[in-house]
Amino acid sequence: MGEPLAKKLYYSKEEYLEIEAAADYKSEYYQGELFAMSGGSPKHSIISFNLIREIGQGLRNKNCIGFESNMKLEIAEADAYVYPDLMVVCGDVKLAENTTDVITNPVLIIEVLSPGTEAFDRGKKFEYYRSVESLKEYVLVSQDKPRVEAYFRKDRNNWQYTVIEGIEKSIVFKSLDYEVKLEEIYYKTELI
């Protein structure tokens, strides 16, 4: 999570959405506070691009659509707006009221881990994500080594945890019934 933008102690959701629409930078909203998002590393960008390519292929014949990190997610129960690295919605896309760029119903969220956000992505952010009723799967992708962690929702409060390690392995995105090789996710990351 980035640093708080301390111009004011509390922002309403409406103020946040207005500020965000006019801003030259991205910030996330948590219970009235705004947090600036830092830029990603080259490896983060390569991995995100590879994931978009691979997940996009898997969605070709499904009633699902993918979104990269320019779309926000509203987490109503947590009073938060965030920018996941990747989201997939199956069925109708539901937008937050009076918005054109705020999704409310992803089935899959993928985060590429960064040193500055890893603890938050694993902890509080996952706690927030679990309150999104439509969410079936949350996936964390390491930048440092071929390692992917997947949480798949079996029921409201029961998540199955799986770790996939090794460039020769594959991950099955259970929410999409689609398999991707880790060598495709980490393609060309050795060049950086």
pLDDT digits (tens, 9 = 90+) for 66-115: 999 999 999 999 999 999 999 999 999 999 999 999 999 999 999 999 98
Q: How many CB atoms lie within 10 A of CB 19?
A: 16
Contact 26, 20 (CB under 8 A): yes
The SS3 assignment for 79 reads coil
Structural domain boundaries, residue 60 = 40-191
Distance from C-alpha of 117 to C-alpha of 105, rounded to nearest angstrom: 23
Classify residue 89 as exposed, middle or buried by CB count within 10 Å of its CB (0-12, 13-18, 19+): buried
CA distances from 121 to 112, 154, 174 (A): 9, 20, 20
In a domain, 2, yes or no: no
Q: Any residues with CB less than 8 A from the CB of 88 and at least 6 apart, and which?
A: 55, 59, 64, 65, 66, 67, 106, 107, 108, 175, 176
In a domain, 154, yes or no: yes
Q: What is the CATH number of the domain that holds 45?
A: 3.90.1570.10
pLDDT in tens, 36-72: 887 789 999 999 999 999 999 999 999 999 999 999 9
Q: How many CB atoms lie within 10 A of CB 192?
A: 11
Find the mean pLDDT for residues 21-32.
93
In a domain, 26, yes or no: no
pLDDT in tens, 113-168: 998 889 999 999 999 999 999 999 999 999 999 999 999 999 988 999 999 999 99
> How many structural domains does the chain have?
1
pLDDT band for position 4 (cuts 50, 70, 90): low
pLDDT at 184: 98
In a domain, 32, yes or no: no
Strands 102-103 and 72-75, by their bridges, are parallel
In a domain, 86, yes or no: yes
In a domain, 22, yes or no: no
